[in-house]
Structure 1
Amino acid sequence: MESLDRIDRDILTLLQTEGRLTGAEVGRRVGLSQPAASARIQRLEKSGVITGYRATVDPAALGLTIHAIIRLRTSHAQLPRALDLASRTPEVTSVLRVTGEDCLILDVHVPRAGRLEEIVDAFARHGPVTTSLVLNAYPPKPLRDPAVRE
């Protein structure tokens, strides 16, 4: 995709924080007509810059009151099995493969400490784990092009 201009970047910022805005509202906020704003959004979707829209759910509202990060250090041979386990564990909400001593970072939401213990034990079969409880999570910041100075 060709480089993004200021209006494209403004549209991306808006949609990352308020994904349900209409094309008309996006246009109003960035100074475009509804058809022009909708055309830009479609171009951003077709080019793969915008990859989807989703609802953000509060885990605590579902009874998942314990939020933990599990870091797994494993071998290359164990990695596929650990990734398979992560995909089959519904409490694992995201998986990052990282460099450094740890191989995987897992974001986990559980209803009780006993369930967290079961999950930690399951991953420990693939290598050493370190678990941290999350005290607070802050809203993500919209992604911005670091090459652009505004």
Structure 2
Amino acid sequence: MESLDEIDRLILELLQTEGRLTGAEVGRRVGLSQPAAGARIQRLEKSGVITGYRAVVAPAAVGLNIHAVVRLRTSHAQLSPALTLAAQTPEVVSTLRVTGEDCLLFDVHCSHAERLEQIVDSLARYGPVTTSLVLRSYPPKALPTGPAEAL
């Protein structure tokens, strides 16, 4: 995709924080007509800059009261099986491959401690694990859409 202009960046900032805005409202906020704003949004979707829209669900509201971060240190040969296991485990909501001593970081939401224990034990087949319980989550920030400003 060609480079993003300032209006594209404003649209991305808006949609990251308020994904249900109508094209007309996006246009109003960035100074475009509804058709012009809609065309830009479609272009951003077709080019892969906007990859989707989703509902954000409160884990505790659906009975997932335990939130943990599980780190796995494994060998290169065990990466693929560990990733397969994570993909097949519904409670693993995101996986990151990271640098440093650990190889993989899993974001896990469970209904009870026994289930977390099962998940940790199953991942431990692939190497040492470290588990941290999350005490509090803070709302994610929108991705920056422009150059970083000086601090």
Q: TM-score, normalised by structure 2?
A: 0.95
**Partner in structure 2 of residue 71 of structure 1:** 71
Once the two structures are superposed, the pairs formed by residues 33-112 of structure 1 within 5 Å of their partners are 33-112=33-112
| Distance verdict in 2 for CA 1:26–1:20, change over 3 Å | same
The alpha-carbon deviation at position 19 of structure 1 amounts to 0.7
Query: 2:78·2:126 contact (CA, 8 Å) conserved in 1?
Result: yes
The alpha-carbon deviation at position 94 of structure 1 amounts to 0.3
Number of aligned residues:
150
SS of 1:69's equivalent in the other structure is strand
4+ residue runs of structure 1 moved beyond 6 angstroms?
Answer: none
Q: TM-score, normalised by structure 1?
A: 0.96
* 1:14-61 C-alpha deviation (Å, 9 max, x unpaired): 100111111001001111100000000011111111011111111101
**Partner in structure 1 of residue 7 of structure 2:** 7
C-alpha RMSD of matched pairs (Å): 1.3
SS of 2:76's equivalent in the other structure is coil
* 1:44-88 C-alpha deviation (Å, 9 max, x unpaired): 111111011111111101100000000000001111110010011
CA distance in 1, matches of 2:18, 2:44: 16
CA distance in 1, matches of 2:149, 2:76: 40
CA distance in 2, matches of 1:9, 1:117: 43
Correspondence 1:21 to 2:24: no
